[in-house]
């Protein structure tokens, strides 16, 4: 018998920078040129972002002698699928993109997730740059390296971990967002306040009107804190073995609500409902206090986000939906729950807390 060992133990440095700068969109091409990231660039975007920002970006690349092609697909979550991913890859193959290429993901989370996944698999992996243009993408999806597409069996089921080479955030791009999209991102920022930063939570309590009037300083502040918090969590636990689970606050019940509504309730709305419901569970279990929960409910209401599970959803349906979620462990429902605003509870060093179905039935 011959045993041959393939030694692959190595440490790889996947660190990257998140640049947050007003007006940075016009400097990105020069920075990429200077870094020598690649010879050919696929600027992947969607049909809404293309006319707003992709053309200027492409021109800036060309001015810097960086060969590039805009690949734009129809906007919308329903297009974050394998068919569109293959179509993008075919565009790149036909355009003779080789291993010396790089991907630029310009858009919201849909673009970032699908373009990141293309980058993860095209010629077995290309570097990619995230240029997030929604609040959700700035504070959440562009950081952390999770890339994926949806399937008829569920969202984000096919994908890869692939960290970007860099993230460039230009707050100016957020000025064209609808108020609804600001609210979507705000739900995640409220979550960051609860899981890790009571000062951010207070900032939101005091400055919501500035955020809704697209004040660049206020937006930049919440983006900066959101990125810092997500980066810190991902740094410590990239593969979600423990700490990274805290990012799922509001998402266990939230995903169930989102699913049961057939996606008529948006993600931000669903996690707002989820944070309140999970908060109520934490209070019922004696882990959290009523005064903090009331503060959370008030802030969510002030942001014009919902706090109540719709009447047409029963607790049984919600429990069944949670058990099907890819985050549940062997049918047992697990959640992360707050201890105070700014800190999550741990049991025996673990953030994931197993919850009895009876308590869920009682509370929701």
Ligand X SMILES: NC(=O)c1ccc[n+]([C@@H]2O[C@H](COP(=O)([O-])OP(=O)(O)OC[C@H]3O[C@@H](n4cnc5c(N)ncnc54)[C@H](O)[C@@H]3O)[C@@H](O)[C@H]2O)c1
Q: How far apart are CA 229 and CA 342, in angstroms?
A: 11
Name the residue among 212, 204, 130, 203 with its Cα closest to residue 175: 212
Report the relative pairing of strands 353-354 and 334-335 from DSSP bridges. antiparallel
Tokens representing 10 are 């190595």
Say which of 68, 79, 248, 259 is annotated catalytic.
248
Tokens representing 207 are 């400055």
Count, residues near ligand X per rule CB under 6 A: 29
Report the relative pairing of strands 338-340 and 334-335 from DSSP bridges. unpaired
Q: How far apart are CA 337 and CA 246, in angstroms?
A: 8
Of 44-52, 90-98, 117-125, 299-307, the segment contacting ligand X by CB under 6 A is 44-52
Helix%, strand%, coil% for the chain, nearest 5:
50, 15, 30
Contacts of 227 (CB under 8 A, 6+ apart): 18, 20, 138, 139, 143, 167, 169
What minimum distance in Å lies between the beta carbon of 142 and ligand X? Answer: 8
107 versus 254: smaller Cβ distance to ligand X: 107
Q: Applying CB under 6 A, does 85 fall inside the site for ligand X?
A: no
Residue 146 annotated among the catalytic residues of the structure: yes
What minimum distance in Å lies between the beta carbon of 100 and ligand X? Answer: 26
68 versus 173: smaller Cβ distance to ligand X: 173
Q: Applying CB under 6 A, does 110 fall inside the site for ligand X?
A: yes
Say which of 50, 181, 184, 240 is annotated catalytic.
240
Sign of torsion, CA 309 77 54 29? Answer: positive
Q: Applying CB under 6 A, does 144 fall inside the site for ligand X?
A: yes
Say which of 267, 280, 295, 334 is annotated catalytic.
267
Q: Applying CB under 6 A, does 77 fall inside the site for ligand X?
A: yes
What minimum distance in Å lies between the beta carbon of 236 and ligand X? Answer: 16
End-to-end CA distance of the chain: 61
What minimum distance in Å lies between the beta carbon of 17 and ligand X? Answer: 18
Q: At what angle do helices 216-236 and 198-212 cross, to 10 degrees?
A: 140
Q: Applying CB under 6 A, does 151 fall inside the site for ligand X?
A: no
Q: Applying CB under 6 A, does 49 fall inside the site for ligand X?
A: yes
Instruction: Map residues 170-199 to x or -, x wherever contact with ligand X holds by CB under 6 A.
Output: ---xx-xx---x--x---------------
Name the residue among 350, 337, 359, 320 with its Cα closest to residue 278: 337
Q: Applying CB under 6 A, does 109 fall inside the site for ligand X?
A: yes
Q: How far apart are CA 351 and CA 335, in angstroms?
A: 8
The residue from 19, 21, 27, 48 that contacts ligand X (CB under 6 A) is 48
183 versus 295: smaller Cβ distance to ligand X: 183
Tokens representing 226 are 């959101």
- Which positions lie near ligand X, rule CB under 6 A? 46, 48-49, 52, 75, 77, 80, 107-111, 113, 133-134, 136-137, 140-141, 144, 146, 155-156, 173-174, 176-177, 181, 184
Catalytic residues: 124, 146, 188, 230, 240, 244, 248, 251, 255, 267
């Amino acid at each position: 018998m011959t045993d041959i060992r393939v030694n692959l133990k190595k440490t790889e440095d996947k660190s990257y920078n998140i640049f947050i700068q007003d007006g940075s969109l016009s400097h990105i091409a020069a920075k990429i040129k200077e870094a020598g990231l690649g010879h050919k660039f696929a600027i992947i975007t969607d049909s809404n972002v293309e006319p707003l920002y992709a053309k200027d970006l492409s021109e800036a690349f060309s001015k810097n002698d960086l060969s590039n092609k805009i690949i734009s697909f129809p906007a919308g979550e329903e297009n974050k699928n394998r068919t569109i991913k293959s179509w993008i890859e075919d565009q790149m193959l036909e355009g003779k993109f080789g291993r010396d290429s790089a991907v630029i993901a310009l858009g919201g989370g849909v673009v970032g997730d699908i373009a990141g996944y293309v980058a993860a698999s095209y010629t077995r992996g290309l570097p990619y740059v995230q240029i997030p243009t929604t609040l959700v993408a700035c504070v959440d999806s562009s950081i952390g390296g999770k890339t994926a597409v949806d399937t008829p069996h569920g969202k984000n089921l096919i994908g890869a971990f692939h960290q970007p080479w860099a993230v460039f955030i230009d707050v100016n791009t957020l000025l064209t967002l609808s108020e609804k999209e600001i609210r979507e991102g705000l739900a995640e920022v409220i979550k960051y306040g609860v899981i890790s930063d009571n000062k951010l939570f207070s900032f939101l309590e005091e400055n919501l009107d500035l955020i809704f009037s697209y004040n660049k300083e206020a937006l930049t502040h919440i983006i900066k804190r959101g990125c810092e918090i997500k980066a810190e969590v991902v740094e410590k636990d990239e593969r979600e073995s423990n700490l990274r689970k805290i990012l799922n606050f509001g998402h266990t019940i939230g995903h169930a609500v989102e699913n049961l509504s057939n996606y008529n309730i948006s993600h931000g709305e669903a996690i707002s409902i989820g944070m309140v419901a999970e908060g109520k569970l934490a209070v019922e279990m004696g882990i959290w206090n009523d005064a903090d929960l009331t503060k959370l409910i008030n802030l969510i209401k002030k942001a014009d986000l919902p706090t109540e599970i719709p009447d047409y959803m029963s607790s049984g349906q919600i429990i069944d939906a949670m058990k099907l979620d890819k985050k549940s462990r062997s049918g047992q429902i697990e959640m992360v729950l707050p201890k105070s605003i700014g800190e999550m509870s741990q049991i025996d060093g673990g953030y994931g807390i197993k919850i009895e179905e009876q308590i869920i039935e009682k509370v929701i």
